[in-house]
A and B are shown apart, each in its own frame.
Chain A
Amino acid sequence: MSLFSSIRMAVNTLQANEVALQVVGQNIANANTPGYIREEVLFSPAPTQRNGKLLMGLGVQVDAIVQKIDKFLEERLRGSISDRVDAETREAAYMQLEGLIGELSDTDLSTSLNNFFNTIHEILNQSGGVSARNLTVLQGNTLTTDLNRLADRAMKIRSDLNDHIFDMAADINRLTEAIRVLNVRITQIEGGNVSASDAVGLRDQRLMALENLAKLVEIRVKEQESGAVIVYSGSQFLVFEGEARQVEVVLDSDRGLSVANIHMANTDAPLDTASGELRGLLDSRDQIIGGFLDRLDNFAHTLAFEFNKAFSQGQGLNGFQDLTSEFAVDQVDAALNEAGLKFMPVNGSFQVIVHNKQTGDTEWADVVVDLNGLDSDMTLENLADALDDVDGISATTTSGRKLRITTDSPELEFFFHGDTSGVLAVLGLNTFFTGSTALDIGVNAVLKADPSKFAASLVTADGDFTQNTANAEVLAALQDRRIASQNNETLNVLYDRMIGETTQAASIAGAVAEGARVFEQTLRGQKMATSGVSLDEEAVNMIAFQRSFQASAKYIATLTELFEILVEI
């Protein structure tokens, strides 16, 4: 023990306090840096020195500068971020959808639907007039245009979501690459846990990268002894220490859209993530918007088919002279229920009425639509032959695999009646709506050109089939008629369910997103409680280290005085 060694000890103390002050400075400097983890300097007493019988302390030494971090909390926070971004993505999708539907306003689809059916009431009010029928055709056009527009816009949202997913692969790859590089550098700098100190800045950057990655996909992070982290998503590695696995976009076709899905580049397995923005976007695209489009299509499909089925039973003020079916079959010699039609006909029959406008003479004919599955079932060709056998009309299949029926002379016209097979609606003969989805539903061009063909009449006991409005009575009430193929629900209920499911799900998505936000905020609060910089706390530390430094300096001054005394002796 000597004065020199005491001075030496005091210098160590000064240096330790300098280090501590630098850490305080670092913390103060990054007090407002997002993602910054508060650092702490760790002191320990210097080793003991034997001097004769005495064992003497050698002052203080700086053990390490470490980050104040709760790794378990970080993992939970990343999870909550994934959940929050997932929920917020869905919430945003629903918000757009709700805006699109515009329900509760006076211009929504339900109003359009009601207006359409209301115009059929006007046909009843003005029986015999063409103007009311024309109004129904026009309102039908508005309804179908609204459906088309809604479907088109929903598809646009779906397409935008898809583009977003397409771009996401590059973001994931960029982040995993950054994490891989940081892994390498942290390992190099920290020397594989040789150093007690953390590669703080790099770790901060890595934490930030992980957090950003968690926004995109749900990840689990495991830190190795080397300081490197392994990142999983589901059962797949994204980063394994110094190695990053790339993802790539795989294109597929779904509901008329070339959809992008993200797969692992090396295994071609889909990137399996339960939350995060990717999950949110995928679900928004496929389930929220896609599901809505499915329901909208089902609604449009049901509306078109059920309305057409009822409509095709009726007769207009004028009959047809040249009529081509709306829908084509895949093969003219295939049974009609296996010919790739959008709707399905069943075993049944219908009647054709050929009417001579000059003489008033009528010719009725039964057409049996044999689809009983036992013998040779009816094909489009057979149907054409059966119709061709009816006096006064000719029927052929066209090169476009449709059915064309024409009268044999200009004074003849034909009508249909009593179709139990649904084949008229299926083929689009004497129908109101064309198309089978929300996107392609429209009003039959034949009716647009001649609204008097609106089939408001039904054959009466008197044999009248053009002068009454009995079919309009049926059509006007169709909104409330139970539909067997839709679990006996009505068109109104179907519509309410479509809107209700969207609304309910949107409401839930909003609540889930809010919950996720709160949870994340709570976890962030907890994280900041551990890792955040408090300037007041740093000020206290700074004063403490300053005082310690001042005391050590005073101690050196005292020892220096002792040296001077000794020198002066």
Chain B
Amino acid sequence: MANIVGIPTTRVSDLFMRQRLTNQIQMDQLDAFRVQMQLSTGRRIQVPSEDSNAAMRIIDLQRLLERKGQVRSNLSTNQSYLLATDSALSSVSGSLAEIRAVAMGVVGEIATDAQRTAASQQVQQMIRQLQDIANQKFRGRYLFAGTSTTVMPFGETDKGGYVQYFGNEGKVSSYSDIDLLFETNLHGGEVFGAISEKVLGAKDLDPILTYNTRLADLRSGAGITRGSIEISVAGNRSTIDITSAETIGDVAAMIRANPPAGKTLDVEIAPTGLVVTLHGDPGDTLAIREVGGGTTADELGILTRIGVGTTVVGEDLDPILRLTTRIGDVLGTRSYAPVRSYGSDNDLIFEAPTVGAAYDGIEILFEDDGSVALPGDETASYDPATNTLTVKIKSHQTEARHVVSAVETAFLAGNVPITARLDPLDSPNGGRGVIAATPVGQIEGQTAGGSGTAFDADAGIQIVNGGETHVITFTGAETIEDLLNVLNMSDAGLTARINGSATGIDIRSRISGVDFMIGENGGQTATQLGLRTFTETTRLEDLNFGRGVATRDGTDFTITIAGTPAGPPPVPIEIDVSGLETVGEVIDLINAQAPGELVARLATYGNGIELVDQSTGTDTLTVSRVQLGRAAIDLGLVPEGQESYSAAAPLLVTSTTTKSNLIFTADNPGAEVAGVRVVFEDTGTGNVTYDPTAKTLTFGITTAPPAAATTAADIIAWLEASPAGAEFSAELDPADTDSDGSGNVEDTDPFAPPLLGDEGGTEASATVVFSGTDNDLVFRAKSALPAQVGTEIQFNGVAAFGPPTFAYAGPGNPLIITYDSDGTTAQEIVDGLAADAGPAGANFSAALDPTDGSPNLGTGTVDVQTSTPMAGGSRFLKGADVNRQETEGIFTALLRLKTALMNNDLGEIERSIALLDDRTDKMNFARAELGVRQQGLDITQVRLDNEEIDLKESLSRDFDVDMIQAISDFTARQISFEASLRTAAQLLSITLLNYL
């Protein structure tokens, strides 16, 4: 619509008239053209500025339509995945029902072996068929592989033909609306039960707080609200904004840098929380408050209550476990001592290398005795007698970094037990602040705060999965991630990860159809990690795949112990486990029966209950069922089908000659090697064979002529050289006076060869191997009691130390030997220990390892090291692991069913069918969920269709031209234009001149 220009009221000039008429015509043409454009494009506006408000609506609607178009594409693509998944699963339920019927049909006495074999083959067929379904691919995506859509999810294990899952439990999601995600897959776990339930992971490894611990990781992962805190001292206040802080170190540095005016604050990052100390005037008290109703100070654990004095010790900030958490930072705290000096850039932290209280109480001194000529020449030494670490310095010239360097050097050389580092809160230039000598009679600091027990990386854990035992050790692992890598990279078919609450580790099995267990390997590693599958808290009702422990009225089983020598025969100890709920309660009950004689505990190697008989009589430790009660079997103390189970006496193979008695021990624990017979056959072959099925270890000896006859030493050498040496070892019987193994051995009685016990009945022993020769040592406990089993022997070298000293603080503690690192020989250790009047000498003895050198002269020097824990012990009986785990899935059910059918194991068939039913239900549940999802998508699709119509209508209202309106506008313009032209022509032609 053209604008209306005002017409002057006085006179009209010709030029004005012409210009106005021209303008008018142009405007009319423009208007007509605009309407013509609308008509030809069908659009009401051509550029946004013609109607900017409508244009913005149009842009918004266009965007919505474009994005909704993509959402429609998402829906149709992903509906096709869901449909494919549904159709893949549709036949499974029916087939499973068929298999169930087949299995039920051949149970019992009537069915023949051939029928059962046929049924088991059908089950095998079903497993194959299911595997094909589970590996189905649609549009390039494996449907049941989780998010690993390019990896075939199910495969057979190399050994045993079990089914292993290679996918994950990830959910593939897509958007079903602009802000609405929906899942487009079912993973193998939820459909087939391809991954086992989590193994514990409930153990809180409780990592310590370090300078770089992130705020987001504190308070069990809840983090710290980034706000401000206020610190006030004697009316002076400072507000500290920690909004930009990332780590607890940042927070500590910010607090330290912003004390109230005229005051100084020391901040320490203790293993559990912050410690803020005020250096003010006498009478000053420190108060830390919130700012503006925030929660930051409270969350940091340093919000002060009234009257706190000058030090605020923060609450436990409980950092979560992360992949990068160092293994040295879990399971306890390290002793440490902050040492502050006047000035800046010189604060130090002395710290123990491992967690535990052993390093508490070390005093630290800086001494200037003139021995340090120049800064850089500092030395550090440790006096165990006074438990003092002394750093020789040049007062006021030695810098903090020199101290760190001196202590570090001495630590690496084994001369001092702890290390030193710069306090990150006070090292802007790398520790160039100077240090002063400690005044006489004072100390710089004293280590404290150590707790817990260091992680036992070397002992490792035993994992049984897929019928194989895997011993996994963590030697060299530095971080939690290294530990997970060891677990995940092992061929044990495991998935290990940090648990959901980020406090510990979860382990799960990916293999279906087999037993799965995690136990100890002679140490405490599995327990420390909370991974042991059989613990004192394990509930009896969960044992034996949930069958629990069957009890009877009255006594369930009896335990017979050795009794006293020459005493009356021991009375069997009656055990009634009725009413007990956990394995721990069973152990406690047994331990309460004959204190000091019968000890029950969890197995040191693998899992199960171990019985240790400390009595000194001659009877054999035996567990016997009472009137067919199953409790002993269900607890693993008596093998299935047997009435009783005895611990064999230590295997001593004697012969009539002297210096020929041998003691055989199994190198690995377990029922498999219990009851093995040792057979000496006069075949003259010199062969050593071990038949695990027949449980015989056979030596082909030569008995004549006497000069060529086999000696005890030959037996030891043969065994070591043979593959059986990996399973067994033999040693000379120390009771055989001055035995050097030179005596000949003899044929064993072919009808009653000696039986090998679960573990040898010898004292606990450990061999410590040093580099070089003539220095290896064998340590032995002086008693055959189990208390010393697992004892570690630690060597600490200290320069210029003199004769070795021995320390032993009782069971559970290491035997610590401090020796002169400049040259203590093995013989000196042997003699020193023998002469030691303390608990070390009372409990242990050392001998030269005869295998080191020929002979071992004991002249080689010893070096810093920690031995493997002492193995062996008194006679004991190791029960079976009755808390086996399994991957509770369809494949497990079928594989178990297959085996059970072949064995006609009714109980197992029932259990497998129950498991199959359970998993079929779960799969049907997953299918139902799939259906619901599809239905949801259908509804979304309909909604999207309606929405699109609405959107297009809205868009049309704003954007499309109203044709009727436009055409009538155009007609009006045309008429107006014609009128305009006509009047213009007439006006221009009329003039007075015509009439002159």
Bound complex: CA of A66 vs CA of B564, how far in Å?
151
Asked whether B341 is an interface residue with its Cβ less than 8 Å from the other chain, the reply is no
Enumerate chain B residues within 8 angstroms of A532, measured Cβ to Cβ.
11-16
Asked whether B121 is an interface residue with its Cβ less than 8 Å from the other chain, the reply is no
Judge whether A360 and B489 touch: CB under 8 Å.
yes
Within 8 A of A (CB), among B31-65: 43, 45-52, 55-56, 58-60, 62-63
Asked whether B566 is an interface residue with its Cβ less than 8 Å from the other chain, the reply is no
Would you list 10 pairs from A and B whose C-beta atoms are within 8 A, ordered by A residue?
A: A31-B13, A114-B63, A126-B77, A467-B168, A469-B172, A506-B48, A517-B3, A525-B16, A533-B13, A534-B13
Asked whether B729 is an interface residue with its Cβ less than 8 Å from the other chain, the reply is no
Asked whether A298 is an interface residue with its Cβ less than 8 Å from the other chain, the reply is no
Judge whether A543 and B996 touch: CB under 8 Å.
yes
Closest to A101 in B: B48
Q: Shortest Cβ distance from A387 into chain B, in angstroms?
A: 14
Judge whether B11 and A525 touch: CB under 8 Å.
no
Enumerate chain B residues within 8 angstroms of A125, measured Cβ to Cβ.
73-74, 77-78, 174
Partner of B70, one of A118, A460, A499, A533: A118
Asked whether B587 is an interface residue with its Cβ less than 8 Å from the other chain, the reply is no
Asked whether A142 is an interface residue with its Cβ less than 8 Å from the other chain, the reply is no
Q: Shortest Cβ distance from A166 into chain B, in angstroms?
A: 28
Apart from A364-B481, A532-B12: 5 A-B pairs, beta carbons within 8 A:
A348-B246, A368-B246, A376-B428, A420-B214, A517-B3
Judge whether B63 and A110 touch: CB under 8 Å.
yes
Asked whether A103 is an interface residue with its Cβ less than 8 Å from the other chain, the reply is yes
Asked whether B257 is an interface residue with its Cβ less than 8 Å from the other chain, the reply is yes
Asked whether A518 is an interface residue with its Cβ less than 8 Å from the other chain, the reply is yes
Judge whether B8 and A104 touch: CB under 8 Å.
no
Asked whether B479 is an interface residue with its Cβ less than 8 Å from the other chain, the reply is yes
Enumerate chain A residues within 8 angstroms of B474, measured Cβ to Cβ.
none
Q: Shortest Cβ distance from A234 into chain B, in angstroms?
A: 30
Within 8 A of B (CB), among A322-360: 346-349, 351, 359-360
Enumerate chain B residues within 8 angstroms of A122, measured Cβ to Cβ.
73
- In order of increasing CB-CB distance, the 7 nearest A-B pairs are A532-B13, A529-B8, A506-B49, A528-B16, A468-B147, A118-B70, A503-B48
* Residue among A125, A129, A502 with max Cβ neighbours from chain B (10 Å): A125
Chain B contact residues: helix, strand, loop or mixed: mixed
Asked whether B967 is an interface residue with its Cβ less than 8 Å from the other chain, the reply is no
Within 8 A of B (CB), among A10-68: 31-32, 34, 38
Enumerate chain B residues within 8 angstroms of A192, measured Cβ to Cβ.
none
Q: Chain B 168-181 against A: per-residue CB contact (8 Å), 1 yes, 0 no?
A: 11101111001101
Bound complex: CA of A541 vs CA of B168, how far in Å?
106
Enumerate chain A residues within 8 angstroms of B15, measured Cβ to Cβ.
31-32, 34, 528, 532-533
Asked whether B253 is an interface residue with its Cβ less than 8 Å from the other chain, the reply is yes
Partner of B212, one of A34, A366, A504: A366
Total count of chain B residues near the partner, CB < 8 A: 93
Asked whether B254 is an interface residue with its Cβ less than 8 Å from the other chain, the reply is yes
Q: Shortest Cβ distance from A544 into chain B, in angstroms?
A: 12
Q: In the complex, identify which listed stretch (A241-249, A260-268, A472-480) lies at the interface while the others stay far away.
A: A472-480
Judge whether A467 and B14 touch: CB under 8 Å.
no
Bound complex: CA of A86 vs CA of B11, how far in Å?
30
Within 8 A of B (CB), among A520-550: 521-522, 524-526, 528-537, 539-540, 543
Asked whether B141 is an interface residue with its Cβ less than 8 Å from the other chain, the reply is yes
Q: Shortest Cβ distance from A77 into chain B, in angstroms?
A: 13
Enumerate chain A residues within 8 angstroms of B169, measured Cβ to Cβ.
462
Asked whether A99 is an interface residue with its Cβ less than 8 Å from the other chain, the reply is yes
Chain A: number of interface residues, binned into ranges: 35 or more
Bound complex: CA of A514 vs CA of B70, how far in Å?
42
Enumerate chain A residues within 8 angstroms of B168, measured Cβ to Cβ.
460, 462, 464, 467
A residues neighboring B (CB under 8 Å): 31-32, 34, 38, 94-95, 98-99, 103-104, 110-111, 114-115, 117-118, 121-122, 124-129, 346-349, 351, 359-366, 368-376, 420-421, 460-464, 467-469, 473, 476-477, 479-480, 492, 496, 499-500, 502-504, 506-507, 509-510, 514, 517-518, 521-522, 524-526, 528-537, 539-540, 543
Partner of A529, one of B12, B992, B993: B12
Judge whether A98 and B48 touch: CB under 8 Å.
yes
Partner of B993, one of A124, A361, A506, A535: A535
Closest to B142 in A: A128
Enumerate chain B residues within 8 angstroms of A121, measured Cβ to Cβ.
70-71, 73-74, 174-175
Judge whether B14 and A103 touch: CB under 8 Å.
no
Closest to B18 in A: A32
Enumerate chain A residues within 8 angstroms of B150, measured Cβ to Cβ.
128, 467
Judge whether B257 and A535 touch: CB under 8 Å.
no
User: Assuming A364-B481, A522-B5, is B14 touching A533 (CB within 8 A)?
Assistant: yes
Asked whether B139 is an interface residue with its Cβ less than 8 Å from the other chain, the reply is yes
Enumerate chain A residues within 8 angstroms of B74, measured Cβ to Cβ.
121, 124-125
Q: Shortest Cβ distance from B231 into chain A, in angstroms?
A: 16
Bound complex: CA of A450 vs CA of B43, how far in Å?
44
Asked whether B579 is an interface residue with its Cβ less than 8 Å from the other chain, the reply is no
User: Assuming A351-B324, A372-B244, is B55 touching A510 (CB within 8 A)?
Assistant: no
Enumerate chain A residues within 8 angstroms of B172, measured Cβ to Cβ.
124, 127, 468-469
* Residue among A374, A464, A469 with max Cβ neighbours from chain B (10 Å): A374
Closest to B167 in A: A467
Judge whether B244 and A360 touch: CB under 8 Å.
no
User: Assuming A125-B78, A363-B481, A464-B148, is B48 touching A104 (CB within 8 A)?
Assistant: yes
Judge whether A347 and B244 touch: CB under 8 Å.
yes
Enumerate chain B residues within 8 angstroms of A522, measured Cβ to Cβ.
5-6
